[in-house]
Amino acid sequence: MLFRSSPRTVEIDGREVPVASLIKRGGAFAVDLCAGMFIAIAAMWIVSQRMPLDLPEARRAVLGIVLIVAVYLLWARDHGLPSPGRRLFSLRLVYPARGGGLLARPLTIEAPGTVRLAGGAAAPRGELVRVWTALGLVAGTSLAGLLIFAHALTTTTVYRSVQAFVDATSPFASRYGAEPDLANLPRVVLIGDERAYVQVDAEWGARQETLEFFLEREGRGWRVRLVRPVSSPRLYGNFALKVQDSAIPAAPR
């Protein structure tokens, strides 16, 4: 079977109940992790509608959101807050001793009533349904979170500087005979203290290419130092609000 129960058991209400296997606990945590990240990204999007995410005050709000999600994943989901992953895999928490305190470590067990076969293995159809549901949730929330975060990054001062540069200079218009239209979502946004890098698709009429923008800090804003077409575009999703300048591609000299 895909999920075999741990041989350990714990007595609950006079019955021996198997402790959940490591793979089931890991699957439940993966679902909760993706759900927590999706909620965090949605909260960041809300912040982005009020202020650019790369401003200091927005970064403080983002840090607070990340800390709240971390507290949920590392502590609160084990002390009373709902866990979508455990519900999906029919797991529940118990404490070895009565009156478990704030720092008590609970055990994750199979929920009483789970359909099981002889020998303790869970029914295979139920296993597969849970696995495919978990995979769907993980993939769906990850993709949706990526798209929401990419949209939130279009409000940053870095990306707005790119848009202003394109509107003012119409790069490569003489070559392609039209002004470029940037795609709604960027491929790459990397923001450091003094440098930034953006990669985004652009269209000139029927022609489409990917452009990369190298930016440098100028006062409280940003200046595009170089823009050029990219022969091998990166995959979508390389986003970072705060990275070391050394990790950001530098404009060729």
Residue-wise pLDDT for 189-208, tens only, equals 999 999 999 999 999 888 89
135/27 same-domain check: yes
Whether residues 75 and 132 share a domain: the answer is yes
Query: Do 120 and 192 fall within a single domain?
Result: no
Number of structural domains, the chain?
A: 2
Which pLDDT score, from 0 to 100, does residue 3 have? Answer: 47
Q: Is residue 70 part of a domain?
A: yes
Using alpha carbons, select from 149, 174, 153 the residue that is nearest to residue 162: 153
Its domain, for residue 234, covers 157-247
Q: Are residues 23 and 137 in the same domain?
A: yes
Which tens digit of pLDDT belongs to each residue from 231-240? 889 888 899 9
Residue range 76-108, pLDDT digits in tens = 998 889 999 999 998 988 876 555 556 667 778
Q: Are residues 176 and 127 in the same domain?
A: no
Determine, yes or no, domain membership for 56.
Answer: yes
In a domain, 253, yes or no: no
How buried is 44 (Cβ within 10 angstroms: 0-12 exposed, 13-18 middle, 19+ buried)? buried
161 and 142 both lie in a single domain:
no
Q: Are residues 208 and 164 both part of a single domain?
A: yes
Between CA 148 and CA 115, with CA 128 as vertex, the angle to 5 degrees is 120
